[in-house]
Amino acid sequence: MYRLLIVDDEEIITEALYEVLSQSMREELDICKAFSAKEALRWLARTRVDIVLTDIRMPGMSGIELMEEIKTYWPRCRIIFLTGYSEFEYAYQAIQKANIKYLLKTEGYAKVIETVQEVMSEINYDHHINNILKQSEEQKASLMQVAQEDYFRRCLLDQTLLDDADNMQSMAKDFSRMNIALDATKPTAIVLAHLSYSSDAAYSEISETIASVKHIWNSFMSEQIHSVALVDRYGDLLWFLQTSPAAEEKFSQHMIRYVEGTLELIQQACYDSLGIVISFTMSSERCAWTHVSQQYDRLRQLQKMKVGEGIPLIQIDYPGGATSTTCQEGFRIMPKVEIMGAHLEAGRVHEFMQSFAELEDYILCKNDNVHRSVEAYYAVALLLLSYINRNQLHEQVGEVGKLMRLDEHSSIKDSFQYMRILAERIFAHKLIDERDRASLIIDKICKYIQEHLSEDLSLVRLAELHYFNPSYLSRFFKQERGVKLSEYIEDCRLKKAKELLSNADLKVRDVALLVGYEAAHSFTRFFKKSTGMTPQEYRDSIIEV
């Protein structure tokens, strides 16, 4: 879903455009409105905007001046100017630039809708699957990129490599030699991505998907962002990002918000072109290279707290979260158990069970060392017991007393079967719990809407308050409630308006403000469209009864 911002200092024009576009393009657009260039800038600093429909002449800041600011915040944003015949020469300088269109105010709403649809078609063309896949094929990972990944993976595993000034100087030399487009002397932002594969995906399919996701990322990040990607030891994607040396200082300050907004587009492109659901966890600020290992651990810890597998979240790591710890590695058993722990935390049931089966096969069929068998059993048993204790799942999974008592099992085979059943119960509860939490989130959003009808209930605002990707929130709400979010808000406003209109002491304008309409005429149009009566006619009908 694309986001369109309407900007005009004349309230009646802004409201009319908002109403017309909402009625005709509600499925395709999330529409916002601003009554001045200054208010528009607040929207631009707050969230990604794909199309701006703006008056070319406004007090304080003209549309031309606003255009320059827009390009600073969102370089890919398309702009449509509204202008009069007398302003054509003034607009001429604007329409010479890329991604700019103009409309005469006398051309009517049909022309406005047509032009917005045309701009959306142009955006879709840029994002077209064939174009993305073609770039994916043309930009195969080179040996240098593999070396870069190995280098950064080594830095994450061994933080001592970055602990002093001499090592940082060595790192700067390595960046230069390996053609890494980052500056070792400047801080970096970090983005961690988890991809939800199908349970039967082959290794080759996963590798191809990761390569395609990398190329999609590169196609959306502008020339103002430099980044390096790698696959970590858990199979997740990790990016290090900095602004390019040529980027303006204002963009550098805006970088984190820009990346957050662009991640929404990357999520949608990955789903549309690859059928992949991807969730992002990113740092809220840049950190020095000496702290990247700690920051990476924090992102992994936050990633484990997401609503559930298969939901395309964007989570921001704000200071104050817990750091993660790593297990002591053994020769063969402990690395396998560590991988199982990562699958358990992430809810990857197929991968967990596959690793469990491999370990069980080794113990039962390929190992004749009793001590190794005992070690393997207790390593997995401790993993399960720790998870059950931390998440208070004793009632949900049943009796766990035998977990730490291997001697109570008739054989090592029976002991592993016992742990398998417990693991299946854990995953079954995890799935139910994630669904319940999703329903609770929607209930919370509905309650907020009912209690704040007079306030900003835009999709962007609701998404900010509840830490959702705006585009996903729209789809998720309809999936859970069976109606669109905008329709639910309108129903709540209509119900509240009818209740308030029964109070004869309240003026119609007061009722309009209390249900979120700043302009009384907009409220009247909304009410009549919904009931067939104006607010005053409805009030009179109540009094007569």
Percent of the chain at pLDDT above 70?
Answer: 85
CATH numeric code, 2-126: 3.40.50.2300
pLDDT value of position 298: 79
Closest CA to 163 of 280, 296, 339, 288: 288
pLDDT value of position 134: 61
Question: What average pLDDT score do residues 346-355 get?
Answer: 88
pLDDT at residue 292 above 50?
yes
- Among the residue ranges 76-85, 127-136, 184-193, 195-204, the one predicted with the least confidence is 127-136
pLDDT at residue 207 above 50?
yes
pLDDT at residue 224 above 90?
no
Q: Could you report the per-residue pLDDT of 454-484, keeping only the tens digit for each?
A: 998 988 888 888 777 888 788 888 888 889 9
Domains of the chain by residue range: 2-126, 145-317, 333-433, 452-544
CATH numeric code, 145-317: 3.30.70.270
pLDDT value of position 304: 58
Q: Which amino acid would we find at residue 245?
A: P
Separation of alpha carbons 28 and 289, rounded Å: 41
Q: Are 67 and 99 in contact (CB under 8 A)?
A: no
Separation of alpha carbons 28 and 7, rounded Å: 19
At residue 322 the predicted structure's pLDDT band, cuts being 50, 70 and 90, is: very low
505's tokens: 């002491």
Separation of alpha carbons 32 and 18, rounded Å: 8
CATH 3.30.1300.10 applies to domain 452-544:
no
Q: Could you report the per-residue pLDDT of 89-136, keeping only the tens digit for each?
A: 665 655 566 678 888 888 889 999 999 999 999 888 877 765 666 665
The SS3 call for residue 82 is strand
Between the alpha carbon of residue 248 and those of residues 41, 63, 187, 220, the distances in Å are: 17, 21, 17, 19
CB burial readout 273-298, b (16+ within 10 A) else e: bbebbbbbbbbeebbebbebbebbbb
- Among the residue ranges 113-127, 324-338, 492-506, 508-522, the one predicted with the least confidence is 324-338
Residue 163: CB atoms within 10 A of its CB come to 12
At residue 544 the predicted structure's pLDDT band, cuts being 50, 70 and 90, is: low
Question: What average pLDDT score do residues 22-29 get?
Answer: 88
pLDDT value of position 97: 65
Question: What average pLDDT score do residues 299-314 get?
Answer: 64
Question: What average pLDDT score do residues 356-366 get?
Answer: 83
Q: Could you report the per-residue pLDDT of 511-528, keeping only the tens digit for each?
A: 999 999 988 899 999 999
